[in-house]
């Protein structure tokens, strides 16, 4: 509710600020008019000069006044809200053609829906954990109960926290180097280089992994203008297959209350690909099947299997 | 550029070079490999000119200047057991200017030509090695694109080689041994071709038959 009110105040201040800008513009143009006209005809030269200077001074004063007014108003208006929960997509609400492109309302609905889903999933996972037989899992359930109204905070984690989690993971695995960048606002993108085997581009939304692409060590991961290329796939069939498996892993590793554990488990799983070309299949004992090495890694044991040998 | 293994395939008994090549390519096609144009690797030998050797009586070193159709803008110059230089194709013109120091050996040009096959991430090139007018042997090159460290994928390459070379599967090339975990480069392939050509040069000349 407070949000709506503050928006109302802001709107009023906006209207005032706009009229203040108009006033400032007209007073400035008056100054230039006065300069352009120069000294009017008066009887004496002294009188002419005096009148001109007085006139000029008046105009300058009014410019000063208008400028002060505008500055005062600009403080009232405040910064455009950066902490909008939808980030830059919140600006869609400014689109005047609501009927033709109801994007914003749809976006809000989707956001609410996803928040609700996450909240319910959190509750469900808390309840399920209580029923678990393992003691460690049980404790987790209790701690979740202590703050039953946990808001879906995982979507709006501060970037600093994300940086910390990633750098901790980076230190955990010496053969893996993680480079974090934020080319488009707050969402982080990771470039993970695993030994001399492969490179992975990971697109994150706060601490959730949205998308991963696996490419070869010698493949280019940047577009022509030097940005990370998150759309094109690898030229090699092996890495296309590994990309598919990595996407499967994203769906497998889910723990809504502890997103940092999810990222860590995903990276641990990813690290097992350091032996992509060296490990034979654990079932058939061979390296190749249809020209591909064992691209699947078991989620628990991290053992290597061919895609068709894993069942 | 992935890890590459170059080897020689002996000519099958009672068959010509061309027939053996056809046998190999048919095997590859049955495996599911797809034809992708042709390839050519050539090599010319130069020896240091007598005038520059001086009176110390040292033996002249041989230098090999090679081209590979996979790298059409490059030229490779190698010494045996020595450094390998990768240069632009203009290097050929430079060699003409260096006539006083390096003289090309007569009729020393040796080359291999053949078809390029793609199977999954493997690139297979089966070629006929010719020296002058005569076919001297068969070269088989297998490249595994996704991997850049030779020792990582040798067992995998070996398994693939076995699948179509059978009992003629080669041992690991010497360049693999001294690379450790360094990144494999085009020059390493050229060293393997140079060694293969030298081996074939020393072999008995087979009768002039079945040139492509």
Using one digit for the tens of pLDDT, what is the confidence trace for B103-144?
888 878 999 999 999 999 999 999 999 998 889 899 999 999
CB contact under 8 A, A196 and B121: no
Residues in chain A closer than 8 A to B121 (CB atoms):
236-238, 291-292
Cα B87 from Cα B72, distance rounded (Å): 11
Give A106-132 pLDDT, tens digit per residue: 888 998 998 899 889 888 888 887 776
Expressed in angstroms, the distance from the first to the final Cα of chain A is 54
- On whether any CB of chain B is under 8 Å from the CB of A285, the answer is no
Name the H helices within chain B: 17-31, 50-53, 91-97, 150-165, 174-177, 186-202
Residue B211 pLDDT > 60, yes or no? no
Q: Is A134 part of a structural domain of the chain?
A: no
- Clarify whether residues A163 and A265 are in a common domain: yes
> For position A3, what pLDDT does the model report?
45
Tens of pLDDT along A275-293?
Answer: 999 999 999 999 999 999 9
A292 at interface of B, judged by CB pairs closer than 8 A: yes
CA distance A223 to A231: 10
Residues from chain B that touch A306, judged by Cβ atoms under 8 A, are: none
Distance from CA of B120 to the nearest CA of A (A): 6
Q: Is A277 on the interface with B (CB under 8 A)?
A: yes
Tokens of B73: 């803008």
In a domain, A170, yes or no: yes
Q: CA A212, CA A202: separation in Å to the nearest integer? A: 5
- Single pTM value for the model: 0.70
Pairwise CA distance, residues A232 & A21, whole Å: 48
d(CA B96, CA B78): 17
Give percent of chain A with pLDDT exceeding 70: 84
Residue A19 maps to a domain = yes
User: What's the domain count of chain A?
Assistant: 2
Give the pLDDT of residue A311.
Answer: 78
Size of interface A-B (CB pairs under 8 A): 54
Give the model's pLDDT for residue A169: 93
Higher model confidence: residue A239 or residue A37?
A: A239
Judged by DSSP in three states, A149 sits in coil
Hey, are the CB atoms on A291 and B122 less than 8 Å from each other? yes
Contact A217 B148 (CB under 8 A): yes
Which chain A residue has the Cα nearest residue B184?
A: A218
Given a cut of 80, whether residue A28 has pLDDT beyond it is yes
Is the Cβ of A220 closer than 8 Å to some Cβ of chain B?
no
Asked if the structure places residue A110 within a domain, the reply is no
Evaluate whether residue A173 is within a structural domain.
Answer: yes
* CB proximity B36 to A under 8 Å: no
Give the residue from A176, A187, A160 showing the smallest Cα distance to A266: A176
* pLDDT tens-digit readout, B43-77: 999 988 776 665 555 566 788 999 999 999 999 99
Q: Which residues of A touch B150 (CB under 8 A)?
A: none
Question: Which whole-number Å values give the CA distances from B93 to A156, A256, B65, B96, in the listed order?
Answer: 64, 67, 12, 5
Q: Which residue has the higher pLDDT, A32 or A48?
A: A32
Burial of A107 (0-12, 13-18, 19+ CB in 10 A): middle
CB of B122 within 8 Å of a chain A CB? The answer is yes
Residue at which a domain ends, from A274, A289, A305: A274
Residue B126 pLDDT: 95
Q: Which residue has the higher pLDDT, B194 or B177?
A: B194
> How far does the CA of residue A170 sit from the closest CA of chain B (Å)?
22
CA distance A304 to A150: 39
Cβ–Cβ < 8 Å for A178, A169:
yes
Over the stretch B17-30, which tens digit does the pLDDT of each residue have? 999 999 999 999 99
A286 touching chain B per CB within 8 A? yes
Cβ-based contacts of B156 with chain A (< 8 Å) = 277-278, 287-288, 293
| pLDDT (average), residues B191-212 | 74
B120 touches chain A (CB under 8 A): yes
Q: Does residue B78 surpass a pLDDT of 60?
A: yes
The pLDDT-based confidence of A79 (bands split at 50, 70, 90) is low
Q: In which band, very low, low, confident or very high, does the pLDDT at A87 lie, cut at 50, 70 and 90?
A: low
Across chain A, mean pLDDT equals: 83
The percentage of chain B sitting over the pLDDT mark of 90, rounded to a whole number, equals: 55
Residues A162-190: what's their mean pLDDT? 91
Residue B160 has pLDDT above 80, yes or no: yes
Q: What is the pLDDT of residue A49?
A: 84
Q: Nearest C-alpha of chain B: how many angstroms from A279?
A: 9
Residue A119 located in a structural domain: no
Can you tell me the distance from the alpha carbon of A216 to that of A238, in angstroms, rounded to the nearest whole number?
A: 9
Interface confidence (ipTM) of the complex: 0.86
Q: How far apart, in whole angstroms, are the C-alpha atoms of residue A23 and residue B122?
A: 74
Q: In this complex, do B152 and A293 lie within 8 Å of one another by their Cβ atoms?
A: no
Report phi then psi at A190, rounded to 5.
Answer: -110, 140
Least confident among A99-108, A166-175, A294-303: A99-108
Domain match, A173 and A268 both: yes
The parent domain of residue A60 ranges over 11-38+48-77
Both tokens assigned to B34: 């797809």
- Distances from the Cα of B162 to the Cαs of A290, B28, B51, B167, in angstroms? 14, 12, 49, 7
Question: What is the per-residue pLDDT for A81?
Answer: 55
Would you say residue A239 lies in a domain? yes
The DSSP element (H or E) to which A199 belongs, if any, is strand A198-205
Percent helix / strand / coil, chain B, rounded to 5: 35, 35, 30
In chain B the domains, ranked by start, together with CATH numbers, are 3-50+60-204 (2.40.320)
Q: Residue A277 and residue B146: Cβ atoms within 8 Å?
A: yes
Helices (H), chain A: 2-37, 45-77, 103-130, 135-146, 159-172, 237-252, 259-271
Residue A196 falls within a domain, yes or no?
yes
Decide if A78 contacts A10 (C-beta within 8 A): yes
């Amino acid at each position: 509710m407070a949000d709506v009110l503050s928006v109302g105040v802001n709107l009023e201040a906006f209207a005032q600020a706009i009229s203040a800008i108009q006033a400032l513009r007209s007073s400035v143009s008056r100054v230039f008019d006065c300069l352009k006209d120069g000294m009017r005809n008066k009887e004496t030269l002294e009188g002419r000069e005096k009148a001109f200077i007085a006139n000029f001074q008046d105009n300058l004063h009014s410019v000063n006044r208008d400028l002060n007014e505008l500055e005062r108003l600009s403080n009232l208006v405040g910064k455009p809200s950066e902490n909008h929960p939808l980030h830059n997509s919140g600006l869609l609400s400014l689109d005047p053609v609501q009927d033709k492109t109801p994007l914003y309302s749809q976006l809000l609905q989707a956001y609410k829906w996803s928040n609700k889903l996450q909240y319910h999933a959190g509750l469900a996972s808390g309840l399920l954990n209580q029923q678990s037989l393992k003691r460690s899992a049980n404790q987790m359930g209790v701690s979740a109960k202590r703050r039953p109204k946990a808001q879906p905070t995982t979507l709006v984690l501060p970037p600093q926290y994300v940086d910390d989690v990633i750098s901790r993971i980076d230190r955990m695995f010496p053969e893996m180097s993680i480079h974090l960048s934020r080319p488009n606002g707050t969402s982080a993108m990771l470039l993970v280089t695993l030994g001399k085997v492969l490179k992975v581009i990971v697109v994150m939304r706060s601490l959730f992994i949205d998308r991963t692409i696996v490419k070869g060590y010698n493949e280019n991961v940047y577009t022509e203008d030097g940005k990370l290329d998150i759309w094109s796939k690898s030229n090699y069939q092996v890495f296309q297959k590994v990309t598919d498996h990595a996407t499967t892993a994203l769906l497998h590793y889910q723990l809504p209350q502890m997103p940092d554990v999810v990222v860590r488990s995903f990276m641990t799983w990813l690290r097992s690909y350091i032996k992509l070309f060296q490990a034979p299949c654990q079932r058939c004992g061979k390296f190749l099947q249809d020209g591909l090495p064992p691209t699947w890694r078991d989620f628990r044991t991290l053992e290597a299997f061919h895609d068709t040998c894993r069942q | 550029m992935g890890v590459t293994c170059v080897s020689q395939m002996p000519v099958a008994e009672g068959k010509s070079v061309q027939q053996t090549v056809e046998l190999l390519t048919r095997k590859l096609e049955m495996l599911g490999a797809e034809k992708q144009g042709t390839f050519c690797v050539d090599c010319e030998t130069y020896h240091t000119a007598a005038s520059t050797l001086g009176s110390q009586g040292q033996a002249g070193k041989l230098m090999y200047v090679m081209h590979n159709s996979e790298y059409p803008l490059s030229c490779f110059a190698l010494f045996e057991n020595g450094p390998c230089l990768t240069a632009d194709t203009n290097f050929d013109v430079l060699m003409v200017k260096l006539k006083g120091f390096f003289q090309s050996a007569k009729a020393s040009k040796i080359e291999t030509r053949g078809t390029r096959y793609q199977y999954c991430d493997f690139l297979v090139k089966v070629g006929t090695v010719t020296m002058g007018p005569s076919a001297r042997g068969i070269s088989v090159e297998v490249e595994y694109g996704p991997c850049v460290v030779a020792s990582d994928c040798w067992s995998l390459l070996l398994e693939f080689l076995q699948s179509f070379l059978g009992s003629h599967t080669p041992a690991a090339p010497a360049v693999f041994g001294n690379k450790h975990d360094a990144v494999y480069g085009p020059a390493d392939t050229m060293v393997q071709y140079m060694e293969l050509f030298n081996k074939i040069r020393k072999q008995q000349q087979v009768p002039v038959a079945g040139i492509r």
